[in-house]
Amino acid sequence: MSKLFPLLACGALLLALTGCNQSGSSQSNSATTSTVNSNAVSPDRQATDYDSLVKAFTPLLDQYYEGLRTQSFDTAFNVFPGFYVDQIKKECQKEGITTDQYVQQAHTYFSDKYGTDYTVTYTINQIFQLTDDSLASYNDIIHEKFDDGVQITDAYSVKITETDDGSVGSETCDLEWYVFVIGGQNYLYESYYEST
């Protein structure tokens, strides 16, 4: 049983980070495109070019999914902020597994559920720029939860439709990621650690 506990603890995080496995995700094939929501966003932050945002955020998602597929922790998680990666490493250490084992578990989950030939594809449906109040709230959360003085200068909600497909099965769901701008760089963010 003691060897099962690390798998269960890390499994919860893996489920949060591995797409269609999120509870409450809806099954949908429809894709709609919206413009950036700029309500309550100060003019110096206001983004209006949706296509540029899609172009900027797509490489983050591509790299993350490629890292899971190739079982490369660095590839998958270099698109997350340092404070988030540090938290994953702390959790792995606490559970007695390496980061390589961590990403191998994610890969195994996809392979078992969809087949060793699985692919992950997605469509970005909507991007919303977070309001000034939401941005301030996220800065407070990051400082409190992660004990990190990093300054998030912009943030976006990125809604995607993800399809996990392989010879064993297929699943499509709608998911929400966040993109934080820190030090002029874009990073993926997922809120799993906010509730731990």
So what's the pLDDT on residue 7?
Answer: 38
HSE of 119 in the Cβ direction (CA atoms, 13 Å)?
3
The mean per-residue pLDDT over the stretch 28-41 comes to: 42
Q: Give the pLDDT confidence of 66-93 residue by residue, as tens digits.
A: 999 999 999 999 999 999 999 999 999 9
Q: Are strands 170-182 and 152-165 parallel, antiparallel or unpaired?
A: antiparallel
* pLDDT of 196: 64
In this structure, is the dihedral angle defined by the CA atoms of residues 102, 105, 109 and 110, taken in order, positive or negative?
positive
Q: What is the pLDDT of residue 194?
A: 79
Q: Sorting pLDDT into bands at 50, 70 and 90, what band is 26? A: very low
Residue with token string 């966003």? 41
* 79 phi/psi in degrees, rounded to 5: -90, 0
Q: pLDDT-derived band of residue 19, with 50, 70 and 90 as boundaries?
A: low
User: Residue 6: what pLDDT?
Assistant: 39
| Integer Cα distance of 85 and 67 in angstroms | 14
Q: Is the dihedral of CA 191, 25, 5, 104 positive or negative?
A: negative
Q: How confident is the model over 112-121, as a mean pLDDT?
A: 95
Determine the CATH number of domain 4-195: 3.10.450
Q: Hey, where are the domains in the chain?
A: 4-195
By the 8 A CB rule, do 20 and 169 touch? no
Q: How far is CA 120 from CA 9, 47, 115, in A?
A: 24, 29, 12
Q: Mean per-residue pLDDT for 12-21?
A: 56
Long-range contacts of 99-103, Cβ-Cβ distance < 8 Å, separation of 24 or more:
99/73, 100/71, 100/73, 102/10, 102/14, 102/73, 103/67, 103/68, 103/71, 103/72, 103/73, 103/76, 103/77
Q: Is the pLDDT of residue 18 over 70?
A: no
Tens of pLDDT, residue by residue over 94-105, are 999 999 999 999
